[in-house]
Amino acid sequence: MPHFRHMEENMSVLVGKQAPDFQAVAVKNGTFDETFKLSDLKGKYIVLFFYPLDFTFVCPTELHAFSDRLSEFAERGVEVVAVSVDSHFSHLAWLNTPRTQGGIEGVGYPIVSDIHKGICKDYDVLAEEHGIALRGLFLIDRAFVVRHQVVNDLPLGRNVDEAIRMVDALKFFEEHGEVCPANWSPGAKGMKPSEEGLKEYFG
């Protein structure tokens, strides 16, 4: 499996910046949305993730994993959107293929076609020499600002629990004004972002 060390050296940090907007063809529930626009989701949280290719091996496990937890994202006001460099026709064919045959039948969130690779470039997840996306994930807040990003190499599938935990952490900070220390999870105490808060946390 190839490694893309040059990407690590040059990776753009989008955290704290407005999410790059895009309009493209997306497939959802077996139909084409010719004018899907990411900024139309502004006002909600967005988990935007990129995957290398349709009809591969790690990718369907990830797409199903996100789809299986879609109700939990919805409860938190989160829209999930996937992107790859495949055509919308390929997406549709994959969606029409049963899970038992390596397909993603039943996945219920939009899957965007980035066949011209401009979206991957804007989010700096394109492995140029291979023309496919690395496994990038971006958490975008309701003001359309990127608050979290992580990029995995091709062999490394993502953890949906961690994606949900990051949403919970962001919502906790927004609601309580306290920051989330290491290994924070819902129900754990936060910390005031000050020297006093740190002492109180460790005390």
Whether residue 165 sits in one domain with residue 154: no
Structural domain range at position 197: 159-203
59 is catalytic: yes
pLDDT in tens, 80-137: 999 999 999 999 999 999 999 999 999 999 999 999 999 999 999 998 888 999 999 9
Does residue 4 surpass a pLDDT of 60?
no
Whether residue 186 sits in one domain with residue 91: no
**Count of domains observed in the chain:** 2
Whether residue 61 sits in one domain with residue 152: yes
The one catalytic residue among 24, 38, 47, 59: 59
Whether residue 21 sits in one domain with residue 53: yes
Task: Tell me the residue length of the chain.
Answer: 203
Whether residue 146 sits in one domain with residue 124: yes
Whether residue 201 sits in one domain with residue 174: yes
Whether residue 79 sits in one domain with residue 14: yes
Whether residue 95 sits in one domain with residue 152: yes
CA–CA distance, 86 with 117 (Å, rounded to integer): 9
Q: Which of 147, 104, 163, 118 is nearest to 15 (CA)?
A: 147
Contact, 29 vs 108, CB < 8 A? yes
